[in-house]
Amino acid sequence: MTTLQLSSKIAVVAALSLGAIMLAALTIMQTPNFNTRTIQVEYVGYKDFKELAESAKVIVTGTVESIKSTSNASAQIPSTTFEVKIERISKLSPDGGMGTVMVQQFGSKSGRFTVEEADNPLMKMGDEYVFFLVGGEDNGWQVPYGTTGPYGKFQVISGTIYPLSQSWSRYQGMSLYQFLGEVDSALGVKTTYSSLWEAKPEIVNQTEWKILPPSEYPAPVWLLETWIGKIGLHWDELSKKGVILWSCGRVGNGKLLVSMDVVSNETVSTFMETIQGEVPPGILMIAKGSPAIAV
């Protein structure tokens, strides 16, 4: 497979990993600043943006809120785990959907002593990125995910995209919303499933259907979980608008059942306006409270 060009001058060639991040090589060098060491890392590259998006387990836009843990800066391969508040979801793995995610990267800071990657400096509190994450586990996101170095991180400054890797220079200066559209396009979200975007939500009181295997769902499980996660991020916002959600989840026919305290033209319209452009109407079943579902 052709990958983005990687340097051949690294002195140490090995297969290393931080979580499930596969590397080609890693070297730690002393810089002229006595208090800083630089890690030179070669990550496995990607032939194009589509491969990056498809390979990522989770794609989210978020802001760095805190440091959850750090290894000593004198460790052989130091690392830091950051807690990131999720603001937008582009892709979730099944059973994801939390409001924060743990993101781990090489490097750490202890007092005035710092170790960090040459092309991927340690994140700072308040930094916003679009993260293409790998690794982790589907257990409430308490096991940290990682990025493939600069390839998997796009900094957001005042709504504008700044890639860490020059390999993605074509996205430099692009607006965040345009960039997230590029992510959707790479994943085929709004093209492959165009019929779901064109349809209307179904209002149900009591219904029955034949249970379908996941292979016959209208969209893959990861995409259904992505849409559930997007609805979840609007939970508090909807409550302030007078739309009280009880639950939202995937049901046996592969659609999403959204339960509301009150179902009316007003509440449904408010709900659909809030998630407009994020979740296709044709995947939704809306019900008052907890409907009786006959199978």
Phi then psi dihedrals of residue 228, to 5 deg: -60, -45
Residue 82: what pLDDT?
A: 95
Domain edges within the chain:
48-187, 190-294
The percentage of the chain sitting over the pLDDT mark of 70, rounded to a whole number, equals: 81
Does position 250 have pLDDT exceeding 60, yes or no?
yes
Q: Which amino acid is at 51?
A: E
CA angle 162, 166, 169 (to 5 degrees): 60
pTM (predicted TM-score): 0.84
* 48-187 and 190-294, same CATH topology: no
| Lookup: tokens for 273 | 């306006």
Residue 6: what pLDDT?
A: 29
The better pLDDT of the pair 18, 102 is held by: 102
The better pLDDT of the pair 30, 182 is held by: 182
Q: How far apart, in whole angstroms, are the C-alpha atoms of residue 130 and residue 156?
A: 7
Does position 161 have pLDDT exceeding 80, yes or no?
yes
Q: How far apart, in whole angstroms, are the C-alpha atoms of residue 123 and residue 42?
A: 19
Structural domain 48-187, CATH architecture: Beta Barrel (2.40)
pLDDT in tens, 49-85: 999 999 999 999 999 999 988 876 555 678 899 999 9
| Lookup: tokens for 215 | 């292979």
Tokens 């995937």, residue located: 250
Does position 208 have pLDDT exceeding 80, yes or no?
no
Does position 293 have pLDDT exceeding 90, yes or no?
no
Q: Which amino acid is at 94?
A: P
| Lookup: tokens for 34 | 């006595």
Q: Is 152 within 8 Å of 132 (Cβ atoms)? A: yes
Q: Is 220 within 8 Å of 196 (Cβ atoms)? A: no
Select the CATH number that applies to the domain covering 190-294 from these four: 3.30.300, 2.60.40, 3.30.1360, 1.10.10.
Answer: 3.30.300
Q: How would you classify the pairing of strands 245-250 and 202-208?
A: unpaired
